[in-house]
Amino acid sequence: MAGLERLSGIAVFAQVVESGSFSAAAGRLHLSRSAVGKTVARLEVRLGVRLFHRTTRNQSLTDEGQMFYQRCLRVLAELENAEDELAQGQHEPSGRMRITMPVLFGRRCVAPVLLDLAGRWPRLQLELAFSDRKVDLVEEGFDLAIRSGPLTDTPGLKMRPLGAHNMLICAAPAWLARHGTPRTLADLAGQQAIFYGRTTHDAEWVFQGMAGEAIPVRLLPRIALDDLDVMMQAGCQGLGLVRLPGWLAADALESGQLVELTFAERTQSIPVHALWPHAPQTPLKVRWVLDALLEHVSPILRTSTQQGAPVLDDVGMKT
């Protein structure tokens, strides 16, 4: 019985952290707020530490509480993995799965795959978050993240490459008629461009030379935007050169709204990875979703990727 009480206390404590309050946790667990508070209080007495800083308005984890929460996540993940393994014979993943992804790429390329899975797997409960910020999977309770850009800091995470965004240099026909078509990087330098970001300071695009060397080209950022869709609109309106992922620019290129500019030097591609919290065994539901993403999302990236294009560090997109 003591073992069961310990597991119950851990589950309640983790739900309080994830819900953000004792009241919200009580609602999710179908318990009274008093019962949740007493469970956490007994846990603190047994551990001999305070897990939460409590005020009349909010609560936050203590350092000890944060450390204990990370350990609790591992315990609960192992229990969930065990249940998943038993469910394999049902040939269907189940349970809640929280996934975060970049806004536009997520809406256009990832969400359709996941919504199809939700229709085919009714026992899988998906919670999808669309954000261009770098999410802390463990701290914010996510099971999986789709991340664009170089992986610089991934402690405690596993990862699988899904492909790469091929970045195309494009311009509207009207812009080319006014300014001419750049044929070399020297022609490109100093041209007005639409940049991803929140500043119009001078910026550069980086190319790779024939010998593999990096060649930065400085342009004049006329407009800075932190939304790729609006960047494409600005490019189609002839407001400057624009660098876009191939999957996003494809329709505008096919319709003639944009023209792709090509150079002897190659543009950089931006890697795309799936990441999930490290565990001795990857949960079954994560494996199923990963397989679906590799089957359906990776081909989207491949079909828009220039043959042999290098995949290098870049800051053109973020997650």
Same domain, residue pair 205 and 217 = yes
Q: Are 183 and 248 members of one domain? A: yes
- Residue 230, C-beta contacts closer than 8 angstroms, at least 6 positions apart: none
Query: What pLDDT is attached to residue 74?
Result: 75
Domain extent, residue 274, equals 91-164+270-303
In a domain, 310, yes or no: no
Is the pLDDT at 198 greater than 90, yes or no? no
Domain-embedded: residue 315: no
Query: What pLDDT sits at residue 314?
Result: 34
CA-CA distance, 212 to 218, in Å (whole number)?
19
Same domain, 182 and 145: no
**Lowest mean per-residue pLDDT among 41-55, 99-113, 195-209, 263-277:** 195-209
Mean pLDDT of 117-146: 90
Q: Do 245 and 257 have their domain in common? A: yes
Tell me what pLDDT residue 89 has. 46
Task: Write down the pTM of the prediction.
Answer: 0.67
Q: Could you tell me the CATH number of the domain that includes residue 95?
A: 3.40.190.10
Tell me, yes or no, whether 12 and 127 share the same domain.
no
For residue 314, being part of any structural domain is answered with: no
* Domain count within the chain: 3
- Give dist(CA 36, CA 43) in Å, integer: 11
Q: pLDDT value at position 200?
A: 60
35 and 63 within one domain: yes
User: Do residues 251 and 188 share a domain?
Assistant: yes
Q: Is residue 182 part of a domain?
A: yes
Residue 47, domain CATH: 1.10.10.10
For 36-88, how does the pLDDT look when each residue is reduced to its tens digit (9 = 90+)?
Answer: 888 888 888 888 888 888 776 677 888 888 888 887 877 777 777 666 666 55
Same domain, 176 and 257: yes
- The pLDDT value recorded for residue 128 is 96
